[in-house]
Amino acid sequence: MMQAQVPSSRSAPVVGVIADLKQIGAHGFHAAGHKYIAAVVGGAHAFAVVLPVLAPQQDIAQTLDLVDGLLLTGSYSNVEPHHYAGPASAPGTLHDPDRDANSLPLINAAIAAGVPLLGICRGFQEMNVALGGSLHQRVHEVAGMLLHKERDEDPLDTQYGPAHPVSVVAGGQLAGWLDGASQITVNSLHSQGVQTLALRARAEAIAPDGLVEAFSVPEASRFAFAVQWHPEWRYADNPVSLALFAAFGEACAARRAARLSQPVTA
């Protein structure tokens, strides 16, 4: 398992990594994937904490007071379609209503509070829905769309390996982080995909079939960015991932500096 680089001081920004509520055996667990946590610590140079999905019992405003940034991870579960007025899911679709009930309000609260937000895969989809967009549930069944799903029988290095190119939107944040690159290759492990991009979002990367694969949120005061692919996978070997997590980490560090400079109220 990859060893994350340890930040050198206690001033590292605190990044909340949202959990899934998973059934493991007889019990539920609030769980987040190691590769996301390792990428936050090693790529964003942050201090990662796993956020249980307990709202409204665990107050979202208090969560935002505790962190300098938020990472919305991927997950095998799908966003429930009633959140975007979509048709019922296919029978047997895995959902995580507790994750939905936390991530969707947390996204808008974080943007309003200026808390940096990075969404990956399911997190990308959650951000689009929270901002008012909608999703294809099985994008590979839509005429003209590519197969964006991984093959379960493939080894992980194949599943998370390069899958298709995306065009980087000129003049966008991603283009800036990538020194003006016009095309990159990304991995692809998803069935859902953007059907309508939220009006509050700006497309940052597009797949050959027209599917939006990354977007930013212009109204966000610091950082709100989402990618459909998995930059956390072997992030240290991927210059695009390193640039993305570095930009996220810098925004989180700026939030921490601003927070620490505020007078402490009793």
Ligand X SMILES: N[C@@H](CCC(=O)NCCCC(=O)O)C(=O)O
CB of 144 to ligand X, least distance (A): 18
122 sits near ligand X (criterion: CB under 6 A): yes
Q: Which of 99, 136, 190, 200 binds ligand X (CB under 6 A)?
A: 190
121 sits near ligand X (criterion: CB under 6 A): yes
Q: Which of 17, 37, 47, 78 binds ligand X (CB under 6 A)?
A: 78
134 sits near ligand X (criterion: CB under 6 A): no
Q: Which of 44, 71, 106, 189 binds ligand X (CB under 6 A)?
A: 189
- What DSSP line would sit under the chain, residue for residue? -PPPPPPSSTTPPEEEEEPEEEEETTEEEEE--HHHHHHHHHHS--EEEEE---TTTS-HHHHHHH-SEEEE---SSBPPGGGGTPPPPPTT--B-HHHHHHHHHHHHHHHHHT--EEEETHHHHHHHHHTT-EEESSGGGSTT----SPPTTS-HHHHTS--EEEEEPTTSHHHHHTTT-SEEEE----S-EEEE--TT-EEEEE-TTS-EEEEE-TT-SS-EEEESS-TTTTGGG-HHHHHHHHHHHHHHHHHHHHHHTSPPP-
CB of 127 to ligand X, least distance (A): 12
For ligand X, which is the closer residue by CB, 33 or 43? 33
CB of 193 to ligand X, least distance (A): 7
Give the x-and-dash track for 200-239 against ligand X (CB under 6 A).
Answer: ------------------------------x---------
Residue type, 241: S
Catalytic residues, by residue number, are 121, 230, 232
CB of 93 to ligand X, least distance (A): 9
For ligand X, which is the closer residue by CB, 173 or 228? 228
Of 238, 251, 248, which is closest to residue 40 (Cα–Cα)? 248
**Cα radius of gyration (the chain):** 18
99 sits near ligand X (criterion: CB under 6 A): no
Q: Which of 103, 128, 134, 192 binds ligand X (CB under 6 A)?
A: 192
Of 15, 79, 25, which is closest to residue 51 (Cα–Cα)? 15
Q: Which of 63, 191, 216, 238 binds ligand X (CB under 6 A)?
A: 191
# binding residues, ligand X (CB under 6 A): 14
Give the x-and-dash track for 26-55 against ligand X (CB under 6 A).
Answer: -------x----------------------
Binding site for ligand X (CB under 6 A): 33, 73-78, 121-122, 189-192, 230
